[in-house]
Amino acid sequence: GRITQISESIDTQTFETYKEQKRLNQTEAASVTIGLDKPVVVERFQDLNNLGRFILQKYNKVYAVGIIL
């Protein structure tokens, strides 16, 4: 998967919000759109929390974790 759009980000230290950033820092959380190469079954976290989580990793390095809104 690849992050295709960052809709809004929040600096978790200052709680400031930013619109349409191109990259995230380690202290930021964000609402993002993820593009996938193949279909994947997911559910909204509030409906079924076991299928409502995700991890983006490459070569055993974790780049992002989160929940499906």
Verdict on whether the full-model pTM lies above 0.85: no
Distance, first Cα to last Cα, the chain? 17
CA dihedral 12, 16, 18, 21 (to 10 degrees): -40
Largest distance between two CA atoms of the chain: 37
Tens-level pLDDT at each residue, the chain (69 residues): 788 888 899 888 888 888 877 888 877 889 888 898 999 888 999 999 888 998 888 899 988 889 998
Q: What is the pLDDT of residue 59?
A: 93
Q: How far apart are CA 32 and CA 59, in angstroms?
A: 22
* Helix, strand, coil in percent for the chain, rounding step 5: 0, 50, 50
